[in-house]
Structure 1
Amino acid sequence: MDQAQVAEHYNTRRDEGRQGRRQSRILQLRNLNNWVKSVLISLHLRPGYAVLDLACGKGGDLQKFVRGHVSLWVGVDHARVSLQHALQRYNELPDEQRVFPAFLICADAFGVPLEPHWDRAWPKFDLVSCQFAMHYAFESAERVRMLLRNVTARLKPGGFFIGTTPDANVLVRKLRAAPGWWFGNSVYRIEFEPPPSSETTPLKAGGDDQADTTAPAAAKTFPADRPYGIRYRFTLDENVEDCPEYLVHFPSLEVLAREEFGLELLLQMNFHEFFHTFALAKDAPPTYRELLRVMRVFHPESHSLSSEEWDAAYLYTVFAFRKVAANGDGGACPSWPGLVDEKDWPCRPCARLDPEQAIVDVGKD
């Protein structure tokens, strides 16, 4: 039921367009999120890579892959309306940028196997990206396994699985510090479902920013032997409203990815740490600092983010896995020299996608 609700949420969201995005109350947060994704992708992308973009939505990262000179882009998403926007975004690329084929699959990448629907003429993927979506898989162990199966089925040895997802450590820490079962600020709100056995006491009236129940921090624990299905509801300003999500227990993910799917963890950083490492540190690549300006991450007047937006960014973490070869050698890890150089990629323009036939619909088994 949750997955249908999530798909419906994204299917019914209006396309606000570039002008609408510029008027967003959380513009700087959205730009920061885009900067994080741009840097993360650039760290692991090389010209000629074939890319699988899971939960690609409206193709918001398509330009990042265009700049990286990919040779193939396959977008998968559960929301068909979002894929129609992604198709339009690809078709509107100028000829000099639309030099790689694109394929779109409408499917729940956490619920059904995708490999039967791959075109056998495709090369194996060098990079799989899953941005701000993996938490939906953590409804159950079976869904996480399906995600990892789809990630690794056609991923080359030495290939990368990268993404962004809520940071469970931060969420639980904030929950335990809150008087009740929810926390947030003017930008976001996260509300957990208290276990049936918890005892809660109403707070005295104190305004809208007061939690409506109290609970000791000790009661806000989640059993380590049941890391899946820990649900909360998330609201983010005008973008997400009371949407069901699940805690991502990263230790369980790391063990499952390594032991059953041959993926080794290379990188996991909270957004704050990632920002400090690649933007503020003395040895941070200048290209990434310049990208902050280009992407207008900071408010033009204050030259910073609001404290509320910065707090919202703290809710997330980046990750990167690498597929280990059969001999145990994961292949060469890319250096981190900065963004992929802009250079001519001598290919002919690819045909635009047919809006009536380009999206492959995949149902449940």
Structure 2
Amino acid sequence: MISAIPVPKPTESTHHRLFEFAKTALIKIFVSPYATVCDLYCGGVPDEDKWDEAQIGHYIAIDVAQSGISQVQEAWESQRKAYTSEFFELDPCIEDMESRLQDKGNMADIVCCMQHLQLCFETEEKARRLLHNVSLLLKPGCYFFGICPDSSTIWAKYQKNVEAYHNKSSSMKPNLVPNCIRSESYMITFEVEEEKFPFFGKKYQLKFASDISAETHCLVHFPSLIRLAREAGLEYVEIQNLTEFYDDNRAQFAGMLLDAGPSLVDPRGRLLPRSYDVLGLYTTFVFQKPDPDIAPPLMTPLLQDGSHNHDEREWQGSVWRDDEKNGQTEPPSLALSKITEQKGILGPGPADLRFSEAL
């Protein structure tokens, strides 16, 4: 029987409740009892209630020192958990875990990153280091999963703004590009006004209506994420917008959102418009470290030498092609063709997530 998310406090925002739901659902799907879990960027308040309910066997928390992880460790250990735990102060997208964790390599059944993956896309080297460390930690056959902003959806909304602006303001300065996306729930502002999507370092601020200040993120270029993961020995399994993730698992998890508070879903468990808008800003990601003794089917398309550069440039163009906007892509002749056919990777996300006009 699926247990409900704890009843939210009146001050908890729609965004917070939906995000907590997504984390709970992923943990229920992937984490088995007695598993060894490594939680990257666990934050100032690790999801202790979720790990308690999952009945894990061992917990490894990793975060940067600024998060106050030593205080978190003291509070965590004072609760006398049923499982053992370890805490490490380091930045997994900068430091080499092999020297810091010594005998911890290849011991985790699960590595998760529920926040901050997008910050590792500030540079290619940071993203590469993170994925190398994940591969080091994981046992063969086990999974790396988490949640990050859906850059396909965010960029599609931005492109929609750009197109509408140019259509309505042809007499204005041609080099002026609008850099802000607004809805009733959030505002997204790009630091640099441009129409290109660089693979790394494309920063923006995301501010929800209930938050005092905005958070800085980087767009995650999904083809580069898949390519770097493969270089690190991790095979792509799925990247899925959270609205699609919810629809696929609605029969199992709708009750959790019904119990999480009003204004999230209707009585039949379908997402209400505001919930759909907020949840659609995020995506799941799932990778697996292959077990050479089992030889699972190959999930990630083989990349021909140098081919990824061509296909990533196809996505970097200033405006989406009409067939891409409609979710109908003709597979390119080179290597990443199978990736373009998957949901939530190269396409601009579900059509319902796009604004009907610039806001």
- 1:124 aligned onto 2:142: no
- How well do the aligned residues superpose, as a CA RMSD in angstroms? 2.9
- 1:326 aligned onto 2:292: yes
1:228 to 192, 200, 211: 200
- Once residues 149 and 36 of structure 2 are traced to their aligned partners in structure 1, the CA distance between those partners, rounded to angstroms, is 26
**Pairwise CA distance, 1:79:** 4.7
Identify the structure with bigger relative contact order (alpha carbons < 8 Å, sequence gap 6+). Answer: 1
1:251-303 CA-to-partner distances (Å, cap 9, x unmatched) read 11112212x11211222211111111111xxxx33xx2333344x15449976
Counterpart of 2:192, as a letter, is P
Distance 1:85 1:30, change over 3 A: farther
- 1:253 aligned onto 2:225: yes
**Pairwise CA distance, 1:122:** 8.2
Counterpart of 1:177, as a letter, is K
Aligned to 1:23: 10
Distance 1:289 1:82, change over 3 A: farther
1:207-242 CA-to-partner distances (Å, cap 9, x unmatched) read xxxxxxxxxxxxx232xxx41111112222344723
**Pairwise CA distance, 1:145:** 0.7
Distance 1:302 1:267, change over 3 A: closer
Range with bigger deviation, 54-63 or 305-314? 305-314
Aligned to 1:161: 144
Q: Secondary structure in 1 aligned to 2:214?
A: strand
**Pairwise CA distance, 1:132:** 2.2
Aligned to 2:249: 278
Distance 1:238 1:83, change over 3 A: farther
Question: Which aligned pairs between 1:279-358 and structure 2 lie closer than 5 A?
Answer: 279=250, 284-285=251-252, 288-294=253-259, 296-299=260-263, 307-326=273-292, 329-330=295-296
Q: Could you list the structure 1 runs, at least 4 aligned residues long, displaced by more than 4 angstroms after superposition.
A: 300-306
Counterpart of 1:221, as a letter, is K
Aligned to 1:150: 133
Contact 2:264 / 2:275 at 8 angstroms: preserved in 1? Answer: no
**Pairwise CA distance, 1:83:** 2.1
Contact 1:159 / 1:322 at 8 angstroms: preserved in 2? Answer: yes
Counterpart of 1:250, as a letter, is F
**Pairwise CA distance, 1:89:** 4.7
- Once residues 167 and 132 of structure 1 are traced to their aligned partners in structure 2, the CA distance between those partners, rounded to angstroms, is 12
Q: Secondary structure in 1 aligned to 2:200?
A: coil
Q: TM-score, normalised by structure 1?
A: 0.68
Distance 1:278 1:298, change over 3 A: farther
- Once residues 306 and 73 of structure 1 are traced to their aligned partners in structure 2, the CA distance between those partners, rounded to angstroms, is 35
Q: TM-score, normalised by structure 2?
A: 0.69
- Once residues 49 and 193 of structure 1 are traced to their aligned partners in structure 2, the CA distance between those partners, rounded to angstroms, is 41
Q: Number of residue pairs matched?
A: 276
Aligned to 1:181: 179
Q: Secondary structure in 1 aligned to 2:213?
A: strand
2:58 to 72, 76, 92: 72
Counterpart of 2:136, as a letter, is A
Distance 1:25 1:48, change over 3 A: closer
Counterpart of 1:188, as a letter, is Y
**Pairwise CA distance, 1:90:** 1.8
Aligned to 2:319: none
**Pairwise CA distance, 1:170:** 0.3
- Once residues 211 and 111 of structure 2 are traced to their aligned partners in structure 1, the CA distance between those partners, rounded to angstroms, is 25
Counterpart of 1:159, as a letter, is C
Distance 1:300 1:126, change over 3 A: closer
2:216 to 225, 244, 249: 244
- Once residues 313 and 83 of structure 1 are traced to their aligned partners in structure 2, the CA distance between those partners, rounded to angstroms, is 28
Counterpart of 1:292, as a letter, is L
Contact 1:191 / 1:233 at 8 angstroms: preserved in 2? Answer: yes
Unaligned runs of 5+ in 2: 1-5, 166-177, 300-359
Distance 1:82 1:277, change over 3 A: farther
Aligned to 2:238: 267
**Pairwise CA distance, 1:305:** 6.8
- Once residues 169 and 300 of structure 1 are traced to their aligned partners in structure 2, the CA distance between those partners, rounded to angstroms, is 23
Contact 2:105 / 2:138 at 8 angstroms: preserved in 1? Answer: no
Counterpart of 2:234, as a letter, is L
1:140-175 CA-to-partner distances (Å, cap 9, x unmatched) read 110001110111112100111000001011011110
- Once residues 113 and 54 of structure 1 are traced to their aligned partners in structure 2, the CA distance between those partners, rounded to angstroms, is 14
- 1:39 aligned onto 2:22: no
**Pairwise CA distance, 1:246:** 0.5
Question: Which aligned pairs between 1:6-21 and structure 2 lie closer than 5 A?
Answer: none
Distance 1:240 1:262, change over 3 A: farther
Counterpart of 2:26, as a letter, is L
Distance 1:92 1:300, change over 3 A: farther
- Once residues 265 and 32 of structure 2 are traced to their aligned partners in structure 1, the CA distance between those partners, rounded to angstroms, is 36
